[in-house]
Structure formats: C-alpha cells, structure tokens
Structure 1
Amino acid sequence: MNARPIGIVGGGLAGLSLGLALRHAGVDVRILEAGDYPRHRVCGEFITGLAPSTIDRLHLRPLLADAHRHRGVAWFQGARLLRRETLPAAALALSRHALDARLAAAFTELGGELLTGQRVDLRERPAGRVFACGRQRARSSWVGLKVHARGLALAANLELHLGREAYVGLCPVEDGWVNVCGLFRVQTGLPADRTAVLPQYLRRCGLGALADRLAAAEIDPASHCAVAGLSFARTLPAPDRLALGDALTMIPPFTGNGMAIALQSAELSLDPLLAWTRGERDWPATVTVANARLQRAFRRRLRSAAVLHPFLLSPFPQRLLATASRCGVLPTRPLYAALH
C-alpha cells in the first residue's frame, strides 16, 4: 500500500472516477461528499469526446457497458426543425442517477472510504486534498432545469431546441426515460410548484410545442431538479489548489462535453497524484504539474465554447445560425472538433 493517502472533496463524476482509479493503483482514498446516492443532477446525461483510453484508465468500461450510443442529432428553433446531423462518434448516454451510484458502489467495493453528508471548509487545503466538489457559486442570471419523461417520441437520438434566451436538450437514457434538460435566463412570476416550473419556462421562451409534448408524457416526479448561480466564465486554477471537473471550470452545456471534462480531468491528474503518493514529488509541485496538464487539455475547447455560447441564447445570433444551417454553410465538424 502506498504511504501517502489521498483525500477528495466531492463525490461526483470527477471525484468518484479519480478515487476508483487510485484504488485500482492501491492508494488509500477517502471521499467526502455533501449529498447521498442515488440522486438526480441537472445534467445533459450524455458524454461526447471521451477516448477509449480514458475509459480504460479510469476502469469505467463495465460501468458504461449498457449506456445508449447516440449519433443522430436534430436541431430545432422554436417548433421548426433546422437541421439533422450525425455525430463523428457515438455519445454515451446514462443518467447521473445511475452512473453516480455505480461509481460509488465500485469505489467502496475496492475498499475506498466514502463518507456522505459531509461538509468541508474549502479554505483548508492540506497536502493530498483534491477538490472535486462541483461548481463554485456565482451571481448569475441563468438557471438550469431538468426532468425525466417517458413516452416522449423524438425526432432523433438527441434533440436540441433553441428558444428565446434558452436552449434545451433531450436525450434518451436507461429504462425508457428521456432526460429533458435546459438552460434558461431567470424569470419572475413563476409558480411555486416545482413540477410546473419547467413547462412555464418552455412556454415563455417560445418552446410551447415542446411543453405540449412534455405535458403528454409520463414524468418521474423525483427527477425534477434545478440549479442556479451558474457561471461559465473561464477561470484559472488557484496555484495552491488542485480542482477537477466543475470545481475547476464549467463549459456551456450545449457542447455535451461537461461529463467528459469531469472524467478527463480525473485521468489528467492521476499520474501526478500517483507520483506524490510514492514520495517522488512534493505537494506544491504536484498541484503545479496537474494544473498545467488541465490547462493544456481544456484551454481551446473552453475558449471556443465561450465564443459560441451567446449565439445559442440571443435571438439575432440564433437567426444567423439558422440561416447558415439552412444554407448548408454551418461548419459543424470543425465546431465539434474545437469543442471536444
């Protein structure tokens, strides 16, 4: 057993996958998680751009074996179909409700220590502590909403809907459920009943046809969830803090790359952390090396997403995108490469 243990704050995708890989390498790992499992999360629930080598390095293959493989995409503006396309590689679709629970079980079966209901002072940064505790709260005018629906016929494997200052993605996951997840500008005067909030947001942003489809479907009442305080500003890592996944930075959700970044950040930090556990490098140098690897890996896609994000939220840029799509001049393959 290695002499130096690792502590991870946060048991989401980044924290659990890193913990799982470290346990396979024989490292003592303790994960402190504020919530519990299983749980629903506001998330697109499909993974794009994840290399097979990352899946194998993190020992994820058996956990993703039954994930749906989606390639067809249909883009809508309001009720109008704009474009159909095929992804260069299949997106892996599995709900966070299932995937987080599987990761937690695999980690503990390997002898990892997972403590739920734990709150940690994030100002404390002892050697060997990794932060994978999700996004940093910020002042923001955006809200994310999500629900699972069943009996919802789709125009393609994945649907993406552009509305006024909003976009929504639909993705089939396990057991016949479809994940409906969207980003909206915060509005006032909405009903207090959480089950009515998403339909109201859809109607107010011009996606009434999608709201009607949702009203006719079966809804999982436990799947309703929301998240506010969303900031997509690019951030630099603190020099004394190793942060992964959303704790490092958030990429706009239209990319379908948020889950992949969480998993990739775990893989990128793995070798520097293993070197530290063996006593080959001190902690400040470990953080510096790992942060440099994360910056190199994600810099281009974060910049590309920051440029494109406003085009999906504002009416005039949306019309430009729609026109380019109808004329067949929208460079979707280069855009996909830049974002992944």
Structure 2
Amino acid sequence: MSFNVIIVGGGLAGLASAVHLSKEGLSVLLIEKHEYPKHKVCGEYISNEVLPYLNALDFNPFDYGAKKIVDFTLSTPQSRSISAKLPSGGFSISRYCIDWELSKKAKQYGAEILHVNATDIQFKNDRFEVFTHQNKKYTSELVIGSFGKRSNLDMKMNRSFVQKTSPFLGVKAHYKGDFPENAVGLHNFEGGYCGISKVENNDVNICYIADVELFKQYKNIDDFQKRVLSRNRFLKEVFDTYELAFEKPLSISQVSFSKKEPVENHILMCGDSAGMIHPLAGNGMSMAIRAAQMASQKILKFKSGKIKSRADLEIQYTEVWNKEFSSRLKSGHIIARLFRLGFFSELLMILLKTFPFILPNIIKHTHGKPMKAEL
C-alpha cells in the first residue's frame, strides 16, 4: 500500500503529525508497535506554549481533565528548595490519556494506524519502503521518524548516538497521594532528578532519571528509592506516604541525551528521535508537539510545490529545527551538569534563593514562545 506520508512511531510527535497532515488532506499511515491506551515513562508535564497549536488541531487537553500547572518547586539532594510561579504555566496529563485521544483524532481525520513493529526503512528511487515484522511493505514519498529515545531502527540505521552507552535509566509510576493539582515539583537526588505532578485522574505521576551504575548497587527499584531518592526529604515524604497505583513501576534503560540529527537517511526526525532535552531543564513533550508542527508545515509546502525539492525540504527542516531547539538542548545539558556536581548544586540553590528573579528567567530560556495557531 502507498501513502503520501508514513509516520514511524506513535508518540506525541508522531500523533500530532498524523492529526495535522490528515486534517490537511494527505494520506497518512502511522505505524506504532503498541496498542493505545498505554502508559509510558514520561514526566507528563507540558508547557502552555503548545496550546494554540493543539487548538488548531481541534484538541483541547482540558476537555480530558488535564491539570493546570502554575507553581514550581525545585530542590537539591540536600533538600534545599525554592518555589516560583511558572512564567507561562503548563498542564499535566498522562500519556495514557493524551496519546489515546490524539490517536482517535488522527483516525477521525482519515489517518490509518497500524499496530505492528517497523523493522526497516529503505529509501530508493526517490521513494520510501517501510517493512514490518509481518514481512509486509508499505511505500510513501515521505517518512517522519518519531520512534522515540532509542529504537532498533536507530541501530539498523547505524545512527551515531547508538554507538555510545548511555549512563541513564528512566523510572515512572502513578501514585495515590495528596499532591497539589496546580503544581509541579522537580527534586534532585544523588545521580538524578525526579519530577512530580498530578494528572487528569488525580493520580500523581512520579518520573525520574537516574545514573545506571549507581542504580546497580541496589537490590531493586524500591530499595533504590528508599536508600537514594529518599535522602531528599521531599521525595522521602512521597515514598513514605503515597500508595503505588501501578502493579509495579515502569522503567527504560539507555536514555540518551547525545546529539542527534534532525534528518537522517532522508527521514525527517521528530520528537526524541531528533533530540532529547534533560527533563531537569525543559519539557520534551512540548518540544515533540512543536516539532510535529514544523515537520508537518514543511511537508505541506513540499507537497504544494512551495518547496521545490526533497533536498530543499531537508535543508529547511534542519534549519528551522536547529533554530528552535539547539539553544534549548545546550541549556539543558549545562543546567543538568551543574546540578550533578553535588556541593556546587547546593551553592547554586543559595544563589537562586538570594536572587529569586533568576529562576523564572532560566525557565523562560528552556521553554519556547507560544506556538502559532496554524496548520
């Protein structure tokens, strides 16, 4: 079967692209190996910068119970903390909910969603061939790669970042507990940091990034949380008093913040496939949604003839992606590195408390301006 666009990977970037392109009349196939709805390891906080674009897609997260976030608390491993108002605010919604609802919206506009594993993407004679584990082949003129942080396709393509072993793992679970629904917390601990916010069903999402080698020194996730994360008093209160809502926490390994390219093998990379920001210093969910708009708009201009060639399409997408995200990613690396320096992070917190105007400015630098409400 042939399509205008095949999207490989059905996370936020892939789903938003599928809604956008199908709403504008292109034939779209989205390939996602997991059925919806499904929980994913994710901080589940999104800044308000994306709301105008989501509204243009006829999607309002507050219709599904998303929590409005206005307050922010940051703490160090020694439990020094500072609180501030988020300059532009945000909202919290589970991936279980938002992915499922966006998938229904994509289908409403005519996109096909196929729940299989894509095993290979080949480009020849100016066309793409996408193969699945069922030995089926699908063809298209264009492919968006939104297959996440690290996948078998990255290895198949021999992308440079997969040659490096990542020192991080991610853990996430929902809990029942008394956490304010208009707040997000970001709490550092030895070797990592943990985000906390309440989602649409009043569960509290707790998601953290941790150093793999440190984690290996402990028996299991529960042991690690009690003996490492709980040295931070904010996290200790959570793990001592909240009730786990999942059967067990979800985890992923090989979480990579290494540099990636926004176009590889003629595939327009989107979301974490193009680059992942440290959750300590930004929010990848907003970046994924913004990248979906950028990729979709460039594809529509290419299909209408306003972009004359595939080479121009790839150049323009790379330029706009780097202009929008490069400085964010660099800021994220620097901030995350500073907070991993132990004693220095405590000094940094003293500085932030002495000059409280600094923190809102840092937040602004790691977030984007409001997106345009246009397709």
Tell me the TM-score normalized by structure 2: 0.81
Partner of 1:130 in structure 2? 144
List alignment gaps of at least 5 residues for structure 1: none
How far apart are 1:115 and its partner, in Å?
0.5
- SS of the aligned residue for 2:346 comes to helix
Matched, 1:328 2:355: yes
Q: Secondary structure at 1:174's aligned position in 2?
A: coil
Separation in 2, partners of 1:79, 1:70:
25
Residue 55 (structure 1) shift: 2.2
RMSD: 2.5
Contact 1:242–1:287 at 8 Å: present in 2 too?
A: yes
Going from structure 1 to structure 2, the CA distance change for 1:31 and 1:94 (only over 3 Å counts) comes to: same
CA distance in 2, matches of 1:62, 1:154: 19
Rounded to whole Å, the distance in 1 between the matches of 2:261 and 2:343 is 31
C-alpha spacing 1:196/1:311, structure 2 compared with 1 (3 Å):
same
Letter in 1 for 2:143: R
Whole-angstrom distance in 2 between the partners of 1:303 and 1:235: 13
1:289 deviates by 1.7
Secondary structure, aligned partner of 2:171: strand
Instruction: Determine the structure 2 residue equivalent to 1:295.
Output: 322
Q: Compared with structure 1, are the counterparts of its residues 17 and 209 closer, same or farther at alpha carbon in structure 2 (3 Å cutoff)?
A: closer
User: Which residues in structure 2 correspond to 1:43-58 (within 5 Å)?
Assistant: 43-58=42-57
Aligned counterpart in structure 1 of residue 254 of structure 2, from 213, 229, 238: 229
Q: State the partner residue of 1:284.
A: 311
Corresponding residue number in structure 1 for 2:297:
271
Instruction: Write the distance in 2 (CA, Å) between the matches of 1:6 and 1:18.
Output: 10
Q: What does residue 24 of structure 2 align with?
A: 25
1:173 aligns with 2:187: no
AA of the residue aligned to 1:42:
V
TM superposition shift of 1:265: 0.2
CA distance in 2 between counterparts of 1:62 and 1:188 reads 38
Question: Cα–Cα, structure 1 residues 63 and 175, in superposed 2: closer, same or farther, change >3 Å?
Answer: closer
Residues 11-22 of structure 1 mapped to structure 2, 5 A cutoff: 11-22=10-21
1:65-121 deviation per Cα after TM superposition (whole angstroms, max 9, x unaligned): 631111111222346352111001221110111111111111112221000132231
Q: Which moved more, 1:17-26 or 1:70-79?
A: 70-79
Deviation (angstroms), 1:221: 1.9
Q: Which amino acid in structure 2 is aligned with residue 71 of structure 1? A: V
Secondary structure of the structure 1 residue equivalent to 2:238 = helix
CA shift for structure 1 position 195: 5.8
| Aligned residue in 1 for 2:175 | 149
Where do 5+ consecutive residues of structure 2 fail to align? 129-140, 151-161, 368-375
Q: Residues of 1 paired with 2:176 and 2:184: CA distance?
A: 15
Partner in structure 2 of residue 9 of structure 1? 8
Q: Alignment partner of 2:119: what SS?
A: coil
The answer on whether the counterparts of 1:74 and 1:156 sit within 8 Å (CA) in structure 2 is no
* C-alpha contact (below 8 Å) 1:73/1:85 kept by paired residues: yes
Q: Which moved more, 1:92-101 or 1:115-124?
A: 115-124
CA distance in 2, matches of 1:321, 1:156: 26
- Show the counterpart of 2:69: 70
Partner SS, residue 120 of structure 2:
coil
Q: Which amino acid aligns with 1:27?
A: L
Letter of the 1:304 counterpart: S
Amino acid at match of 1:262: A
Contact 2:7 2:14 in 1 (8 A): yes
Per-residue CA distance 1:205-233 (angstroms, 9 max, x = gap): x2366245324322122462112112212
